[in-house]
Amino acid sequence: MASAINLDQDQQWLINCLNATLDTDHQVRSFAEASLTQASLQHAAVLLKQFIKKHWHEDEDNFEHPIVASDEKEVIRRLLLLCLDDTHRKICTAVSMAVASIAYYDWPEDWPELLPFLMKLINDQTNMNGVLGALRCLALLSGDIDDKAVPSLVPILFPCLLSIVSSPQIYEKSMRAKALSIVYSCTSMLGTMSGAYKAETSYLMSPMLQPWMEQFSAVLSHPVQPEDPDDWSIRIEVLKCLNQFVQNFPSATEKEFMSIVGPLWQTFVTTLKVYEQSSVEGTQDSFEGRYDSDGAERSLESFVIQVVANNLQELVYYTFGFMQITEQQTNAWSLDANQYISDEDDNMYNCRVSGVLLLEEIISSCGEDGLCALIDAARRRFIESQQQKADGFEFWWRIREAVIYAMASLSDQLQEAEVCSSDGFDLKKFIEQMIMEDIGAGVHECPFLYARVFSSVPKFSSMLSLGVIEHFLFASLRAIGMDVPPPVKVGSCRVLSQLLSEAYKEALQPQILQLFSSLVDLLNHASEESLHLVLETLQAAIKSGHEASLSVEPIISPIILNTWVSHVSDPFISIDAIEVLEAIKNAPGCIEPLVSRVLPYIGPILSQPKQQPDGLVAGSLDLVTMLLKNAPGPVVKALYDVCFNPIIQIVLQSDDHSEMQNATECLAAFVCGGKNELLAWGGDPGFTMRSLLDALSRLLDPDLESSGSFFVGNYILQLILNLPSQMGQHIQDLVSALVRRMQSCEIAGLKNSLLLVFARLVHLSAPNVGQFIDLLVSIPRDGDRNSFAYVMSEWVKHQGEVQGSYQIKVTTTSLALLLSTRHVELAKNFVQGHLIQSTAGITTRSKAKSAPEQWTVMPLNAKVILALLADTLIEIQEQVTEHDEEDSDWEEIDAGDADVDQNTLHVATAKSSGKPAYEHLAAMAKNQQDGDEDDLLSSIDPLNEINVANYLVDFLVKFYQSDTTLFDQLSQSLTQSQRHAIQMILNHYQRNTA
């Protein structure tokens, strides 16, 4: 067996030993078995686990021939079980993992003796190593147990586990915690099953709930012990199990839950003292970054995250305590301000973040009561901090910083809060008091408090008076140029980056040049972590600086360009740098000098792309695209002279997908900005047009990887919209190439963009849409009757994925145009319809393999196009209902032939807070694809002016009028909700024409 596999020395030795265990010679067998037992003390078990993954089961992706023979499997299984009570815990864990790996394939059918062996081992109190080995093995097995095994396993296993958990005098805490982890895994699976088998799972668990709840109470009732990770670990497992019990069996657990409330609260309250001593003050060991032999974290922080649970007034008060900056954080952030920025921006999961999540949940679940609890606890903590400061307590600022951090994190919820207290409490005044009182604290003594105040001002801005905001703006301007601790400068940057705006332009102008100077100095000393914040602040300063930006452009632009070049391979920083350059471009009088500064540098890069470092060509193309957008004609011409031909060559020759994508966007921006004049700039309009078409041909090459063609759809739309006469003669070739590219497409986003092109071509062919259908029918396509059948099959399959206001308008209205032709091909073609739902219980891995998804097959015109239009109508109606409580709006439409548009307009544009009621469907409210791409298209395409609701109502009424028989026939196959949506409109029409 080993000869067919490339094995290292250890693996070969293992194979030889396993083969020797089958030898007829008793001495050979005994020696081999003894060798394997001895090897278990080393790393053979680990090797065996790797061997199992590769050679045990043929259906696995990483399987390598040959497969282990059945008799060899039997020997391996037997020997492994004998090693489960190994005294070396790491070896025991490795053996357990090997057993679990085999059990995944063999248990229970081919390994029925596994569970009885483990149960015997787990019940033997004379062999604690065996108990631990069995527990570890069961813990691994329970993590991957399926719905077939768990109902039979729980009645056998849970009593044994309960015996272990309830016997602290016999079993150590780590064993009891491991037993609880098995309970958690099994209960989680039962919870998954409870949806389909509610009665069965409740019947199974009901007798077990009371004894388990009693044990949970016993574990939690004692005060939390400092420097005892095992105590923390067992409590974590109890809380996890308790959570599963409450979630999955709420009615059965409810009567038992009162017994747990007191102990649960005892754990929560006593944890704070331990946490303050270990993490906040650093006087005791918090076991930070430590793990047990199974790889589970043992730190106090991980325990606290589990302990924080739902409560109200006292819960919020104690949560503030858990959110204080720890001694470890203070030391780390004081030594490295960049780590401070990184941790703040990353929202790494720690007690501070989990505390915010808890407070959010309290407000979400409890509404006004939760907000009142938050505000009352904040007032209480603030008063305490004032007293601590007066008493000379060194760390008085920590709890105040935590309160401000929490309140700022929940600023959106607080803005909607009304007065919660009976004493006429003024929340806005309280917030101003907190931040204004702290601004007088010593910046060097309490830098993190100072930084927190600054960082929180933008979040509180809607609740603060204009005078307070201006005070912090000027304080930030001063702090950036002063010798203050780095965290304070971080907070100052956050104020300026988010609050500099038109409203404060006049007041800030006298200091704007000094601000630019300070920011440039920060930029020159910024690290990668702080660079983002400085660039963001600089961008805001430029936007606010207006005319002053022109005077500093010669200083700032070269620095930003150097920053961009140095970090061009970092997508985040390079984008930040380009956004700063874009702000300079948009400042009065800055675009010409900026472009003249960029071109001498960019030209050689694009002309010799093969000689550039990684990322520089793609980044340069991104920069050119930014400069082209909304640029005046002379600037577009200047960029064309230097960049156009090199960009064409990059599209034709590059194999780098990032370069091709950015070059495609760049060409689209050239066509959008230059339009027909673009063709004459090179001296030979025909040559320029051929260059554009050659680039298009490469991008539509079906053999090109999909990623390289990703933005070709936008490029095509720019060509057909801005150069319609030149593109008209190439439509048939274009359509053929689009079909071929779509056939080989492997990326859904690319396929959807090509479908958008087809949709736009439908509109361009109007009123002769039938001729466009004939064109598609005339183009053959492998696997389908013709290209029309293929395109429509893909279109209706992906229409629900279309995103973006412009895209939805074009594709939806194009479907209506196609249906209005009544073309014979619409009735001939059948496409994918509805997913056939299975009601046969839980879908397991084996079920998914044996019974893949099945779909109905439906006629294109009846079941699909009309259904898609009806679904769009339903979405519009739902959006109207969401934004207008008068659900009768649709019932009040007077849809006479001459009045349809006017009355539907009332529905489609019903106002709520000055915004459109349905916002052009729910999907249009999302940020889909690239916003700039939408802007380029929507700004030049008259189809963007279409009101989808008006269009659909008008289309359906006219379709019904022109052929009532066909319309009724098609409608019969719609769902009830689809028919209802359409019938509402037709009823109005019939009522008003009677």
Non-local (6+) Cβ contacts of 134 within 8 A are: 84, 118, 119, 121, 122
Model confidence over 300-356: pLDDT tens digits? 666 655 554 444 667 788 889 889 998 888 888 887 777 788 777 766 667 888 889
φ and ψ at residue 60, rounded to 5 degrees? -75, 150
Question: Which domain covers residue 806, as residue numbers?
Answer: 783-836+852-881+915-993
* Of 33-37, 319-323, 465-469, 899-903, minimum mean pLDDT range: 899-903
Q: Please report whether residue 960 resides in a domain.
A: yes
Model confidence over 111-123: pLDDT tens digits? 888 888 999 999 9
pLDDT at 551: 87
Q: What percent of the chain has pLDDT over 70?
A: 81
| pTM, to two decimals | 0.65
Model confidence over 162-177: pLDDT tens digits? 999 999 999 999 899 9
899 confidence band (pLDDT: 50, 70, 90)? very low
269 confidence band (pLDDT: 50, 70, 90)? confident
Q: How far is CA 774 from CA 786, 788, 824, 830, in A?
A: 10, 8, 10, 17
**309 burial type by CB count under 10 A (0-12 exposed, 13-18 middle, 19+ buried):** middle
Average pLDDT, the chain: 81
Non-local (6+) Cβ contacts of 501 within 8 A are: 540, 543, 544
Position 918, amino acid: Y
pLDDT at 908: 33
φ and ψ at residue 392, rounded to 5 degrees? 80, 20
Distance from the Cα of residue 117 to its chain's centroid: 44
Residue 435 has pLDDT above 80, yes or no: yes
Cα pseudo-dihedral 99, 102, 108, 111, rounded to 10: -80
Q: Please report whether residue 947 resides in a domain.
A: yes
Model confidence over 573-590: pLDDT tens digits? 999 999 999 999 999 999
Model confidence over 923-982: pLDDT tens digits? 333 333 333 345 677 778 899 989 888 899 899 999 988 888 888 888 887 888 888 888
Q: What percent of the chain has pLDDT over 90?
A: 33
Q: Please report whether residue 796 resides in a domain.
A: yes
Region class of 367: left (phi > 0), else alpha (psi between -120 and 50), else beta: left
- Extract the runs of DSSP E, i.e. beta strands, from 290-419: none
> Which residue, chain included where needed, has tokens 């001939």?
828
Six token digits for residue 870: 């009806």
37 confidence band (pLDDT: 50, 70, 90)? low
How many folded domains does the chain comprise? 1
Is the bond leading into 767 cis (omega within 30 degrees of zero)?
yes
pLDDT at 347: 61
Six token digits for residue 608: 């010799």
Q: Please report whether residue 942 resides in a domain.
A: yes
Q: Please report whether residue 615 resides in a domain.
A: no
Q: For residues 26 and 531, which has the higher predicted lDDT (pLDDT)?
A: 531
562 confidence band (pLDDT: 50, 70, 90)? very high
Q: Please report whether residue 355 resides in a domain.
A: no
Model confidence over 705-758: pLDDT tens digits? 999 999 999 999 999 999 999 999 999 999 999 999 999 998 999 999 999 999
257 confidence band (pLDDT: 50, 70, 90)? confident
Contact 355, 319 (CB under 8 A): yes
pLDDT at 506: 67
pLDDT at 912: 28
Residue 898 has pLDDT above 70, yes or no: no
Q: Please report whether residue 671 resides in a domain.
A: no
pLDDT at 837: 52
**Angstrom distance (rounded) from CA 21 to CA 34:** 10
Model confidence over 147-202: pLDDT tens digits? 777 888 888 899 999 999 999 999 999 899 999 999 998 888 888 777 667 777 88
Model confidence over 745-754: pLDDT tens digits? 989 999 999 9
Contact 93, 132 (CB under 8 A): no
Six token digits for residue 196: 């389909």
Q: Please report whether residue 989 resides in a domain.
A: yes
